[in-house]
Structure 1
Amino acid sequence: MLSQKARYAIRAIQHLADRHGEGAVPLSEIAARQKIPAKFLTTILSELGRAGVVGSQRGRDGGYWLAVAPSKLTYGDLVRMMRGSLALVPCASRNAHERCTNCIAEDECRLRALMLMVRDQTAELLDSIRLSDPVEPLPSFDEMVPEQSHGA
């Protein structure tokens, strides 16, 4: 699962991508519209600023903006910046590989093989979608899933 920090970062960057080219966006606007605690958002945007993704200006007319064109940034880039890896288990990471503790040999582990396939498919999808690509919200989960019968 994505961490709360990664989810907040993606929502904040989506907000800035929607406002790309309009100048500095106040922190208070991003925090309110995306329901992100301002203090945590400041930390996240500072980290993204150090990575060169976000620009900032202090002062009355200050705020944040996307320092990279939305067409140049993928969701895979963002997840890697915030999470470090797309893998669900450390032994399936392509960039931050670690052997799992209390596991069988990697060359005998079918779980690792499965998780590498999941990681590679996830990377392919996330790396193919840019912030400039439309991603439309879907109905809530309750509206999408028909009620399950209880007692079966």
Structure 2
Amino acid sequence: MLSKKTQYAFHALTYLADNYSKGPVLISEISQERQISLKFLENILLELKKAGVLGSKKGKGGGYYLIKPADEIALAKIIRVLDGPIALLPCVSLNYYERCENCQEEVCGLNRVMADVRDNTLKVLENKTLKDILRNR
């Protein structure tokens, strides 16, 4: 399940995508237009900036902006930045692998099923972009 944080991130990112040609957008504008707490939004946008999804400009005419066009921002990247692993079990995570407690992976049927779930989920999320969200509104 997507966290509220990630859902808000997608709301903010779609707003930035809608305003891509206008340049940097103030956090207060995004907050007001998408009805997201200003403080919460500041933290979200800062994380996305650190991850290389957003850029920012200070001073007059400043704000946040997408570094790449919406069709180059994979949904999987945003989810991983804000929510961490996409896999439902830590033992099948590609980027955040951890052995499950009391598990024998070599004979675990759940592990194999969840690996298939992960692969199919990733197939969708890595091939869908922010632009797909914009198209489906």
The answer, yes or no, to whether TM exceeds 0.5 is yes
Runs ≥4 residues deviating over 3 A: none
Q: Which amino acid aligns with 2:105?
A: E
SS in 1 for 2:106: helix
Helix, strand or coil for the counterpart of 2:113? helix
Indicate the SS of the match to 2:20: coil
Which residue type is aligned with residue 25 of structure 1?
A: V
Spell out the pairing of 1:106-145 with structure 2 (5 A cutoff): 106-133=105-132, 134-137=134-137
Select the structure that is richer in helix. Answer: 2
Partner of 2:70: 70
3-state SS of 1:55 partner: strand
Q: Deviations for 1:34-55, whole angstroms, at most 9, x for unmatched residues?
A: 2211111111111111122111
Query: How many aligned residue pairs are there?
Result: 136
How much does 1:98 deviate? 0.4
Could you tell me the TM-score, scaled by structure 2's length? Answer: 0.89
Q: Which structure 1 segments of 5+ residues have no match?
A: 138-152
Superposed CA offset, 1:117-136 (max 9, x none): 11111110011112223442
Structure 1 Cα separation of the partners of residues 22 and 67 of structure 2: 12
RMSD: 1.6
What displacement does 1:68 show?
1.4
- Per the alignment, residue 23 of structure 2 pairs with 23
Matches of residues 1-150 of structure 1 in structure 2 within 5 Å?
Answer: 1-101=1-101, 103-133=102-132, 134-137=134-137
> Within 2, Cα distance between the matches of 1:130 and 1:31?
22
Higher Cα Rg, which structure: 1
